[in-house]
Structure 1
């Protein structure tokens, strides 16, 4: 057929390329069964026009496969020319020409019929499949499950196992989760369209197992994209997707919650270290250091809490696994055992985190506090002995804010915890109403007027912290005030006893000094000491202590404040900066100040030590009550189990020390609440 010369081969090849209606373009396979002229080749669809639906598709596939074979062989025959001649002439390659011709001369003409045939066939297959599967379930589900479903589930598991093994190596954690979520969605859609509804749970469980359960650890701990990285980079959307996916597999959220807890602990511990470093580098006194901690450490802790609480609510839908590991921050600091406990129980420059937070909240709620916040900001920020002092000294800026924080404490720690904090402020309101009644009583009984403006706050003992009470020998002016109020109070109730807490009282007295008269704002103790000098020019330490009936510590504190501190209302001999039992005092008539009204504070007591003692005392009572409750219900219990149940009961309030529990058990034995078993010393019995 072909000449031996290259020129003749080129000539023949050109003819072939320029005749699309010839063998290459239409091919003998396009001929109809009947003999036809050249026009049958030009249309290339004669034999396809005579067939319809499935038969037309079968014929099209058959002839397309033949056409590809022919083009491939022709490309091989003319490989040399296709490689050099075509390149020089900038003509399309032989293979490209063959495929283009099939598209233009065949497919473009019959594509409408092909589309309709394919759709019709798919619908028929779906209808057939649905009918078959429906017949499975209507005849008997056993046949459906055994003959079809079992094999389908097995193949599905194998398919996704292969997919997952590749994805876990190549994809980041977010990309992997996107693919897994899409696969689950597609499988769910397939069930709704083609399978019996009973297959959905089984199918999704297979997919979840292969995509998530098998690779859970590897996926969550991916170095640069795992759960730690998502938390670090604030990937809220990815964390939400992680929750959705892992909440569907058995115990799938536990590792996520553990990683979350580890991350919170690490972030909080880093804050503690920063605060420690800042405190150690601060060249200032302790007061300045504490101020720094309040403004920096406490604020950052609250911001950290808000950030991760948003994760709990928004990403993890407040699930109990995350919520119990991340409770309300302030309730946590009071004693719960999870979430922030690891780092919030650490000390910062000698002060506990709880102490710093208490001071921070006190500063916000006090009148004149350095934190000037709106009502909304305070409500957002607030989420104990200092509460009582604020209320009693009328330093609270807003009663509603006080009630708000008490409500939060009660919700977190229970009513028992807040039972001594002013009865939710209700008792304080009654005390104010009581003062108004007292003023009305004085206006109606002019003969009983004490001659001094008197304000008394009466509080029920059980609702407030207990304070040290002394039988202070009041000056005559104050004695009359006490008697008048007692008479008034007896008109309201005769079954209650008044106990005066003079250590919490304040007085405004006029100091008549030679330069000018100055109003002094002092405590009741200080006022009682100063009024002694109305009757004597000089008094010794021992005389003052005897006349006031106070302890040495209290006398030292009040005399130091009046003679050795900023305002020297009394002159002391000898003139030293410490108080001793041999000192002698006299009124400083030459004292003056540029102000006409001054406040003379008492030296601060070690409140931290006192609070620790009070807390330990309260915890002893709580441990006793817990042990008795447990033993009363169980009657007989071993030591280890008793300790475990006691720790579990008290865990919401504080973390009890095992040694403290052991001491309380011993104490209850001596008080005949419990007894040891005679044969087994580690077994205890409850004594009714």
Structure 2
């Protein structure tokens, strides 16, 4: 009996709520929404006639807030979304074409206050901010290209990176403050920055952004970067990763960066090894361990070389051998360091160094069997003490420069041919290094421009305010040939990478359609670079010729792996 009474009570309550809902929704809410809709139409029409777009947006946003407060005070909670939908329909959606038409002017003039209100209203409409997103994208593109166009001078790379970062910081700030970190608008910033940074002034020439970013990092990490504290350098390097993430050809950056890092480490030009390692870790976080594997191995070689030199010193003590000079050697893995054999040139080692080289080779081959040492004299340097002047000078110079200068040990004047014959350097290398010694005024030349008929003399009146200095002109600047060589090596690496990717994919999948293979290759290679379809096709054809893969008999656009 009690259960029956509870059921009857529940049914009565349900009927009562249905009656209340009917009374509220049909008798009151529907007429109220209709009346509100008409009022919103009239009000929108009046505001559009009386106000400019900025005033219209401000009035609409204020009016929406008033409606929200009124609903919360006098209406049931269920009515608020319905009133708001009517308001947005008649005050925003019905005039969407007009509002979208004003977006371009607001974005171009960067009217942050109006853009803020525009954004708040447009996001209430499905896909309402799409035009705002596209207009912001085009605006950032234009401002970005304007910031990096027409740059001149030796420090173009510094201007390019810092101007690009200034554009990024400005519009990232606007998106955060005005558009509430909206992901669609952040996406437009990313697309615009990627477009600007990978833009090619001359379409057929390669993009120079990777090279310029590598030079920018090189300048920050070198000892010569003056006026920067450790915290400022760290901040700039951290910001440089922003540009790095937008670069398409990350493998080009890696090639230039590794070459510059090698020079800094070999010539002891790094301002801080901790900063160097921190930068490599930043790159690893952005691109993964594989990208920085060789860079880490370069650091390992420097550490191992230090231990090796200590063992060599102990070996000399046990052998009771005096070298007569302070000798320090770096043993570097050929596979990790971007040094190559192309720069090797004939060279006759000075007598002062022959004993040291011979003793180190004996020591090394006794400790490591099956290894081969290749001496890269063009990367070596030495410290020479000048004792023939009123003051003693300590000068750091490249080995080739030192070899030339040591020829004046027994004679104050020597001819071009005598010096070249004694050093065995080719004409290009010899002329380059003899010119650097003349420019530094350590030796003098009777001709204004040194040539094969010139006679060179030791400058016995040499004077300098500093007693310790470095001649770097011949080894620090990258020649156009080196830049071209770097880009050529990138092209070769890409061919090998694509062929390896094709074999790896086909070995896993066995049979694959042409388009599916292309997509998988693009997916795998996007971390380092963006290959063209033509480049991928050439790699596939090359592997077919080498019989790694073959076309299936039944389909022209399908490949199978040849086991």
Instruction: State the TM-score, normalizing by the size of structure 2.
Output: 0.72
Q: Render the CA deviation track for 1:202-235: whole Å, top value 9, x for unaligned.
A: 654554454444444531431xxx3553463362
Tell me what 2:195 maps to.
341
Q: In 2 relative to 1, CA 170–561 (structure 1 residues): closer, same or farther, beyond 3 Å?
A: same
Give the superposition deviation at 1:304: 2.0
1:593 and 2:462 correspond: yes
Q: In 2 relative to 1, CA 402–159 (structure 1 residues): closer, same or farther, beyond 3 Å?
A: farther
Distance in structure 1 (CA, Å) of the matches to 2:51 and 2:121: 17
Distance in structure 2 (CA, Å) of the matches to 1:494 and 1:347: 52
Tell me what 2:98 maps to.
218
Tell me what 1:229 maps to.
106
Q: In 2 relative to 1, CA 396–163 (structure 1 residues): closer, same or farther, beyond 3 Å?
A: farther
Q: How does 1:403-442 map to 2 (within 5 A)?
A: 403-422=277-296, 426-427=299-300, 430-431=303-304, 434=307, 437-438=310-311, 441=314
Gapped regions of structure 2 (runs ≥ 5):
1-12, 240-256
1:388 and 2:265 correspond: no
> Number of residue pairs matched?
519
Tell me what 1:251 maps to.
127
Q: Render the CA deviation track for 1:301-345: whole Å, top value 9, x for unaligned.
A: 332222122224433444443334434xxxxxxxxx752433653
Checking the alignment, whether the CA contact within 8 Å between 1:312 and 1:318 is kept in structure 2 is yes
Checking the alignment, whether the CA contact within 8 Å between 1:294 and 1:356 is kept in structure 2 is yes
Distance in structure 1 (CA, Å) of the matches to 2:41 and 2:434: 84
Checking the alignment, whether the CA contact within 8 Å between 1:475 and 1:528 is kept in structure 2 is yes
Checking the alignment, whether the CA contact within 8 Å between 2:381 and 2:398 is kept in structure 1 is yes
Give the superposition deviation at 1:264: 1.0
1:323 and 2:186 correspond: yes
- Kindly indicate whether structure 1 or structure 2 has the higher relative contact order, using CA contacts under 8 Å at least 6 residues apart: 2
Checking the alignment, whether the CA contact within 8 Å between 2:138 and 2:192 is kept in structure 1 is no
Checking the alignment, whether the CA contact within 8 Å between 1:519 and 1:598 is kept in structure 2 is yes
Q: How does 1:35-434 map to 2 (within 5 A)?
A: 138-139=17-18, 147=26, 159-168=39-48, 170-189=50-69, 192=72, 204-222=84-102, 226=103, 228-230=105-107, 232-233=109-110, 235=112, 237-273=113-149, 275=150, 279=152, 289-291=153-155, 293=156, 298-327=161-190, 338-342=192-196, 345-347=199-201, 352-369=208-225, 372-382=227-237, 383=239, 384=257, 385-422=259-296, 426-427=299-300, 430-431=303-304, 434=307
1:675 and 2:554 correspond: no
Checking the alignment, whether the CA contact within 8 Å between 1:570 and 1:585 is kept in structure 2 is no
Checking the alignment, whether the CA contact within 8 Å between 1:516 and 1:592 is kept in structure 2 is no
Distance in structure 2 (CA, Å) of the matches to 1:169 and 1:632: 70
Give the superposition deviation at 1:265: 0.9
Give the superposition deviation at 1:610: 2.9
Checking the alignment, whether the CA contact within 8 Å between 1:298 and 1:357 is kept in structure 2 is yes
Q: In 2 relative to 1, CA 194–489 (structure 1 residues): closer, same or farther, beyond 3 Å?
A: farther
Higher gyration radius (CA)? 1
Tell me what 2:7 maps to.
none
Distance in structure 1 (CA, Å) of the matches to 2:19 and 2:377: 89
Distance in structure 2 (CA, Å) of the matches to 1:306 and 1:522: 42
Give the superposition deviation at 1:156: 5.3
Distance in structure 2 (CA, Å) of the matches to 1:526 and 1:416: 38
2:382 match: secondary structure: strand
Distance in structure 2 (CA, Å) of the matches to 1:638 and 1:542: 67
Distance in structure 1 (CA, Å) of the matches to 2:176 and 2:362: 57
Give the superposition deviation at 1:507: 1.0
Q: In 2 relative to 1, CA 312–656 (structure 1 residues): closer, same or farther, beyond 3 Å?
A: farther
Distance in structure 2 (CA, Å) of the matches to 1:491 and 1:325: 62
What is the CA RMSD across the aligned residues, in angstroms? 4.7
Q: Render the CA deviation track for 1:661-688: whole Å, top value 9, x for unaligned.
A: 3333333333444433456544444555
Instruction: State the TM-score, normalizing by the size of structure 1.
Output: 0.61
Q: How does 1:529-540 map to 2 (within 5 A)?
A: 529-531=404-406
- 1:523 pairs, out of 398, 405, 415, with 398
Tell me what 2:474 maps to.
602
Q: In 2 relative to 1, CA 538–416 (structure 1 residues): closer, same or farther, beyond 3 Å?
A: same
Tell me what 1:452 maps to.
325
Give the superposition deviation at 1:268: 1.6
